[in-house]
Amino acid sequence: MYVGQACRLRIIELCNERNITLNKLATLCGITQSTLNNIISGRNFSTTVSTIKKICDGLEISITEFFTNPLFDDLEQEIK
């Protein structure tokens, strides 16, 4: 799995845990719904740390909490 895929799955997991929609998450984070949709759909392959930080702030978690998940344990090297 690649970083972008893991981030996408982690965001979905966190929304499911909190029973919130992506639209609600976008509002909480102060990012546009289209940005979040691009991340979730895979159109955005390189989510920035800044965007992840905004998502974490909206969810009231730390970046450490976001990345402390088995999804990030065995990531593949992305070579392009």
**How far is Cα 39 from Cα 52, in angstroms, rounded to an integer?**
10
- Of the pLDDT bands very low, low, confident and very high (cuts 50, 70, 90), residue 80 is low
Per-residue pLDDT, averaged over 7-27, amounts to 95
Query: Could you tell me the pTM of the whole model?
Result: 0.89
> What integer pLDDT is reported at residue 79 of this predicted model?
63
pLDDT in tens, 38-61: 999 988 777 889 999 999 999 999
Region 23-38 average pLDDT: 94
Q: Which CATH class is domain 3-69?
A: mainly alpha
Q: What local confidence, expressed as pLDDT, does residue 77 receive? A: 74
Burial class for 10, CB neighbours closer than 10 Å (0-12, 13-18, 19+): middle
Domain boundaries, the chain: 3-69
**CA-CA distance, 2 to 20, in Å (whole number)?**
25
Token pair of 79, please?
């070579």
Say how far apart CA 20 and CA 80 lie, in whole Å. 34
